[in-house]
Chains A and B, each alone.
Chain A
Amino acid sequence: MSLLAVSGLTKRYRRGGGTVAAVDGVAFAIEPGETLALAGPSGSGKSTIARLVLRLTEPDAGTIQFEGADFRSLGGSALRARRARLQMVFQDPLAAFNPRATVARVLDDPLRIHGIASRTERPRRIAALLERVGLGADLAPRAIHEISGGQRQRVAIARAIATKPSLIVLDEAVSALDVSVRGRILDLLLDLQATERIAYLFISHDLGVVRAVAHRLVILDAGRVAESGDARAVIGNPQSAIGRALVAAAPRLNRTTAP
């Protein structure tokens, strides 16, 4: 059984007189420990899908099966408890944290909310989490705005893995980072996947990055699935017009796919 199975996912927004479907009947599935990439131009509904899957926005139609249960039917405390298994890393690591927070508080919250560690045990757990994502435990008392962008995204990943999730949604999680930092963050994500068997829903507009991390790829266009399949196969031989345009737009891929 798939870890996450989405079908018929639809979200419409009112604009002017009529409605616009930001996401229109999208279906995909993610297996445990697998990376599924969602790629598409801006406005294709990638980030809306992320928010719908996480129930940050309520879909108008469609089903979301997560870990064998109907994720859409959950509410209140049952939903909050289940959120431990489904985490997210945002694009802008500065906007993703309360501007008043310290690194320790950011990591303390999930441990406290899900009762993972007692109050006295938490500082040790926080240090271990920081170490797991390649940061020093001495970073804990620092304010979020005092550390670098790359460090911040590592803290965001540490927070996402604090509750031992089975799936992490990465919404353009490396797009705001510069190239050298991006490579190391991708290595960290691959390492976490190999050791903890975490599945990723990897949202990106950059097929170069997608090819480096994704097993399977779904290409979106205007809220619909344009094509999907094995990531290397789709990138190597895109069938849809939007797929060819995305491949052409990724400079690193042009070099390898040119005759």
Chain B
Amino acid sequence: MSRLHRFLRSPEAIAGTAILALLFAMALTAPLLFPGDPQAIAGPALLPPFQDWSLPLGTDRLGRDVLAELFHGARTSLAVGLSAAGAALLIGAVVGTLAGFAGGLIDEVLMRITDAFQTVPGFLLALAFVSIVGPSLGVVVAAIALGAWTGPARVARAEVLSIRERDYVAGARVIGMHPLEIAFREVLPNALPPVLALSSVIVAAAILTEAALSFLGLGDPNRVTWGAMIAEGRAVLRTTPFLSIIPGIALVLTVLGVYLAGEGVVETTAVRRSLS
């Protein structure tokens, strides 16, 4: 049975993939379906949803199209979530591999740095970083990655510690391979699967952190984000709660979708590994 087949047999994986597919479709079609600035005023302010079919989800306090904002917000959430998680996994894998493979003083130094980052709550770190450097998409990505790379680093190091004692690493040394080549070509690829298993949790957390930063007004001001939409709706929460509820639901569904799809992938590869 193919991997795809097995993947599609679990209902969680299907649900997760469907949500993610929808999200990607939203992100990709946003500039086509809603060309122009999603932050431009499109109609009367505070129009409730399902009243005017040219503005299906209504408008916010300034009369901006909520549906357009939702679509464009999906772009930001996905871009930030994926690139922050990618950066965190990359940094974590490299730091963990170097620490585990080199051992000794390098290991000590790298792991104490990891400890230092891990003891500061990731969100506070991101908050401090963005408020010092200033909000822009790249800075937000860096800020989130800064708090998220320690998990992958620890998992990678543990895996590398077990792999570096294997015969094939000794074999690579015997043929005269450079230690850095051994670390990144022989050891790291074999240490990656458990590190990648963390990716769904990290992507989900990154999307939530981005939303939280935006909610506090520390997101990129030139981009629509769901967190900023929730913050915007907070002012009129009692009279028009839908302005916060709609992006809130989008956020919950996205995180759920990422998590379910990620679990599905991990499950399928785990089955494959135990079979081989």
Which residues of A line the B interface, CB within 8 A?
51, 54, 56, 80-81, 83-84, 86-88, 90, 92, 95-100, 109-110, 113-114, 159, 162-163
A-side contacts of B232, CB under 8 Å: none
CB of B95 to closest CB in A, whole Å? 22
Give Cα A153 to B241, complex, Å: 70
Interface string of B77-117 (1 = CB under 8 A from A): 00000000000000000000000000000000000000000
Judge whether B190 and A99 touch: CB under 8 Å: yes
Q: B190 contacts which chain A residues (CB < 8 A)?
A: 98-100
CB distance from A67 to the nearest CB of B (A): 15
Q: Could you pull out 27 A-B pairs where Cβ atoms are within 8 angstroms?
A: A54-B170, A54-B174, A56-B173, A56-B174, A80-B177, A80-B178, A83-B174, A83-B175, A83-B176, A88-B170, A88-B174, A90-B167, A90-B170, A92-B167, A96-B171, A97-B168, A98-B186, A99-B190, A100-B190, A109-B172, A109-B175, A110-B175, A113-B176, A113-B178, A114-B176, A159-B171, A163-B176
Complex CA–CA separation, A162 to B176 (angstroms): 12
In the complex, residue of chain B having the shortest beta-carbon distance to the beta carbon of A171: B167
Tell which of B172, B174, B186 touches A87, judged by Cβ atoms closer than 8 Å: B174
Residues of B within 8 Å of A51, CB to CB, are: 170
By DSSP majority rule, is chain B's interface helix, strand, loop, or mixed?
A: helix
Q: Which residue among B171, B172, B173 has the maximum number of chain A CB atoms within 10 Å of its CB? A: B171
Q: Which residue of A lies closest to B187 (CB)?
A: A98
Number of interface residues of B (CB under 8 A): 15
- Give the CA-CA distance A56 to B175 in the complex, in Å: 11
Inter-chain contacts of A80 with B (CB < 8 A): 176-178
Give Cα A83–Cα B176 distance, bound, in whole angstroms.
6
B166 within 8 A of A: yes
Interface residues in B137-182 by Cβ distance below 8 A to A read 166-168, 170-178
B166 & A113 in contact (Cβ 8 Å cutoff): no
Expressed in whole angstroms, the Cα–Cα distance for A110 and B189 within the complex equals 20
Q: How many angstroms between the C-alpha atoms of A54 and B172 in the bound complex? A: 12
A95 touches B175 (CB 8 A): no
How far is A80 from B180 in the complex, measured between Cα atoms in Å? 13
B175 touches A163 (CB 8 A): yes
* Residues on A with beta carbons closer than 8 Å to the beta carbon of B166: 95
